Amino acid sequence: MPQSLARRMDGLHSSAIRDLLTLTARPDVVSLAGGLPDPEFIPRERIRKEAELALTDPASVQYGETTGLRRLRDVLAAREGAKIGRPLGAADVVVTHGSQQALSLLAQVLLDPGDVVIVEEPAYTGALQVFRAAEADVRSVALDADGMDTAALQGMLEDGLRPAVVHTVSNFHNPRGVVLTPGRREHLAALADRYGFWVIEDDPYGELFFDGPPPAPVAALSDRVIRLSSASKILAPALRVGWLHGDRRVCEAVELLKQGADLCGSSLTHQIAAGLLSDEPWLDLHLETLRARYGSRARALADGVTSTFGDRVRVSSAAGGMFCWTEFTDADLDTAALLQTAVDHGVAFVPGAAFGVAAEHRGAVRLCFATCSEDVLAGAVARLGDAYTAHAQS
Amino acid sequence: MPQSLARRMDGLHSSAIRDLLTLTARPDVVSLAGGLPDPEFIPRERIRKEAELALTDPASVQYGETTGLRRLRDVLAAREGAKIGRPLGAADVVVTHGSQQALSLLAQVLLDPGDVVIVEEPAYTGALQVFRAAEADVRSVALDADGMDTAALQGMLEDGLRPAVVHTVSNFHNPRGVVLTPGRREHLAALADRYGFWVIEDDPYGELFFDGPPPAPVAALSDRVIRLSSASKILAPALRVGWLHGDRRVCEAVELLKQGADLCGSSLTHQIAAGLLSDEPWLDLHLETLRARYGSRARALADGVTSTFGDRVRVSSAAGGMFCWTEFTDADLDTAALLQTAVDHGVAFVPGAAFGVAAEHRGAVRLCFATCSEDVLAGAVARLGDAYTAHAQS
């Protein structure tokens, strides 16, 4: 095997989360580790109808355009244009095989080995994997309750750091749960314009708000932003429909790379997605239902953790998305070590260390509230409490 | 944009074939340029039933394993194991997003920039695109009526060339139509073992034989072979189901890269493909019908070309696959120039130059017989004859 493979394999650990998912697939373990939507909330019956309708058209089984089905790009352009407050056309949108493919192709388009990429601390592991595979010099900037600390970012830039890319999960951060404030969005956009880096605004969770919609995207504020989103969390992961929009040259380069990467997406799942996304009355109702259901679970989990652990934890506000970031205040606790005890007690989570770049997050855990019902979440928190007690006594 | 992008964009022309497809999408032009199955031969009704059945299972809309749905890998392992004459298990197979993704991930796994890759002359353009994007040093070895000229390959190796990868479309070559003979398969496998290069055996067309099945795969003869195939040509492109099997370390590296590239495939289309591929009585009948129908078209096209052009052409035997490689004997003819006249006459093809590496193939064209009926093919050949005459007089 070539040197590059050995080198890449070093940096490219199998995603810790995915390995954990394998580990915790035991039926007696309640896993709060994944980032999976509840299959019961996925509109399977509606997908079946759209599939049936799509399959009356021979084009639904044929090869499609590399940038994605025109009808799907039209509806995505309309929706995204409304979010950023300026009109977009089908040519401005590239449909990708999930937004993970958008990240991966963007890394190939925007990065040379050794280029600096700034991610949030803690960071989305799928982004870390992509940037490390691209042999980027991955740095991190602190994240607090208001999202990325853009003042800290400005300091890094003033100290001479010249990133090619800054990656942000602007809405309901994975794993941290927070939303970037409007002021910081403006600050980030201004820094991008001033220093000439690209912002990848990675937004798979923006539609899953429980209290109110998030602020306008960073992409509304600068042309240096490539915005990513996905149908996986609001419709179905199995559609494998993600998308990106932004600078036209970048989109064209992504299209060229996608030709070589996989030629095109599935005309069938693109038609299904287009059908669902263009039925606005249905979609609005579906999203409202989804927000209410996931919101209820988020509150159940956060309340359960707070009542079980009291002042031994700090729990992130559960205002949207899928995750509740919980920091134990016990300075000695290593949640990676706690995990084994937790699995023995029938509950799993992702230790904070999985998301660390420069920091360790030894005392933190990411808990997913999306996959299980309120009752199951309550039981899982009780098990976590028992595991914590047992671990402290061991 | 980074230097790498500019460099890659130079080598990474948009696929000539795909650009042509756009150019020739005019309704008055019969396109023999694409490599598209006839949508009428795609079992849409059966796909609809499998989709309906799949969607009774919540797992059909959820994220799936990176290597592909277990049930799909099981049936692929059984089928591929039977072809290569030794048992394979699900862990030996990685399902990819079409076999193009398999090629792309393999290039990332097996190649460093500057590594030598040997392709066939003429070559599959999708492979050229991938290897050029990987910044490989792409060389070519001649192809004749018996497939890759392995004696010429041996000469290149004896002269000191040390390829990392040799790529072959062993069955019903795209664009050349030929099949690698059993003796040359053994020779290629022996050279791989002796010189330690990897063979990528790219076989999307092997099931589409019109006279009899092709010889046992090169993968039956050496452990240095990674074998690729696809459901696109026998079931439906829109399933986006390709696969690879071979060396376990290479498969594991492909899996790791696929995590970063797109996390996983579509559980829905994987279930559909598994349903179709595991229903052997149905599949056998479907494949027999497909072979008869495409075989009839292949003969219609080849006979039409021969009767129209006589000894002004050499037509490849149409024993399988989708393509008829036609070489004009007129030494002055440039088929790239002929194309414009042909489009004006309402017919399109891919000029040989699109497949050239070291040679130009100026006198050759690739004609696809799969997409159009025998009648339409006859009309297209008549138009091509008129275009040829007009071009000669211009």
Q: What is the ipTM of this complex?
A: 0.94
How large is the average pLDDT for residues B249-277? 96
Q: Which DSSP symbol is given to B320? A: B
Q: Do B56 and B117 fall into the same domain?
A: yes
How large is the average pLDDT for residues B109-129? 96
Q: Distance (Å) from the C-alpha of residue A273 to the closest C-alpha of chain B?
A: 12
At residue A325, the pLDDT reads 97
- Sequence-distant (6+) residues with CB within 8 A of B285 are none
Q: Do B9 and B65 fall into the same domain?
A: no
Instruction: List alpha helices for A55-175, DSSP H.
Output: 70-84, 98-110, 125-133, 150-158
Q: Distance (Å) from the C-alpha of residue A315 to the closest C-alpha of chain B?
A: 27
Torsion (CA) B23, B324, B245, B130 in degrees, nearest 10: -40
Residue A355 CA to residue A361 CA, distance in Å, equals 8
CATH code at position B213: 3.40.640.10
How large is the average pLDDT for residues A19-24? 60
Last residue of a domain, one of B250, B279, B308: B279
At residue A18, the pLDDT reads 56
**What is the percent of chain B where pLDDT is above 90?**
91
User: What's chain A's average pLDDT?
Assistant: 94
Through-space distance between the first and last CA atoms of chain A, rounded to whole angstroms? 45
How large is the average pLDDT for residues B343-366? 95
Q: Do A59 and A206 fall into the same domain?
A: yes
Last residue of a domain, one of B259, B279, B299: B279
Give the amino acid at B48.
Answer: R
Q: Do A174 and A300 fall into the same domain?
A: no
Last residue of a domain, one of B209, B244, B279: B279
At residue B11, the pLDDT reads 43
Residue B109 CA to residue A6 CA, distance in Å, equals 9
Residues of chain A contacting B322 with CB distance shorter than 8 Å: none
Among chain A residues, the shortest Cα distance to B40 is held by A58
At residue B24, the pLDDT reads 63
Q: Do A214 and A245 fall into the same domain?
A: yes
pLDDT-based confidence at residue A394 (cuts at 50, 70, 90):
confident
At residue A357, the pLDDT reads 96
Q: Do A227 and A116 fall into the same domain?
A: yes
Output helix, strand, coil percentages for chain B, rounded to the nearest 5.
Answer: 50, 15, 35
Range of the domain at B205: 44-279
3-state secondary structure (DSSP) of residue B141 = strand
> Are B268 and A44 a contacting pair at CB < 8 A?
no
Q: Do A341 and A251 fall into the same domain?
A: no
Q: Please check the confidence at residue A17 and state whether its pLDDT lies above 80.
A: no
How large is the average pLDDT for residues B116-130? 96
CATH code at position B335: 3.90.1150.10
At residue B218, the pLDDT reads 98
At residue B280, the pLDDT reads 98
Residues of chain B contacting A240 with CB distance shorter than 8 Å: 97, 262, 264-266
* Pick from B1, B45, B110: CB nearest A2: B110
Summarised one tens digit per residue, pLDDT across range B69-102 is 999 999 999 999 999 999 999 999 999 999 999 9
* Pick from A129, A257, A262: CB nearest B98: A262
How large is the average pLDDT for residues A350-367? 95
At residue B2, the pLDDT reads 54
The number of folded domains in chain B is 2
User: What's chain B's average pLDDT?
Assistant: 94
Residue B169 CA to residue B149 CA, distance in Å, equals 13
CB atoms within 10 A of CB B9: 18
Q: Do A267 and A295 fall into the same domain?
A: no
Q: Do A86 and A111 fall into the same domain?
A: yes
pLDDT-based confidence at residue A11 (cuts at 50, 70, 90):
very low
Q: Please check the confidence at residue A389 and state whether its pLDDT lies above 60.
A: yes
Residue A316's closest CA among A194, A163, A174, A108?
A174
Residue B135's closest CA among B166, B152, B157, B113?
B113
Cis (ω within 30 of 0) for the bond into A175?
A: yes
At residue B124, the pLDDT reads 96
**Residue B383 · residue B347 · CB < 8 Å:** yes
Residues of chain B contacting A36 with CB distance shorter than 8 Å: 62-63
Summarised one tens digit per residue, pLDDT across range A265-320 is 999 999 999 999 999 999 999 999 999 999 999 999 999 999 999 999 999 878 99
Q: Please check the confidence at residue A14 and state whether its pLDDT lies above 60.
A: no
At residue B3, the pLDDT reads 53
Q: Distance (Å) from the C-alpha of residue A180 to the closest C-alpha of chain B?
A: 25
Q: Do A70 and A119 fall into the same domain?
A: yes
Q: Please check the confidence at residue A126 and state whether its pLDDT lies above 50.
A: yes
Q: Do A238 and A296 fall into the same domain?
A: no
Q: Please check the confidence at residue A334 and state whether its pLDDT lies above 90.
A: yes
* Pick from A1, A14, A44: CB nearest B61: A44
How large is the average pLDDT for residues A233-258? 97
Residues of chain A contacting B51 with CB distance shorter than 8 Å: 48, 51-52, 55
At residue B356, the pLDDT reads 96
At residue A12, the pLDDT reads 44
> Are A259 and B129 a contacting pair at CB < 8 A?
yes
How large is the average pLDDT for residues A102-112? 97
CB atoms within 10 A of CB B151: 11
Q: Do A149 and A182 fall into the same domain?
A: yes
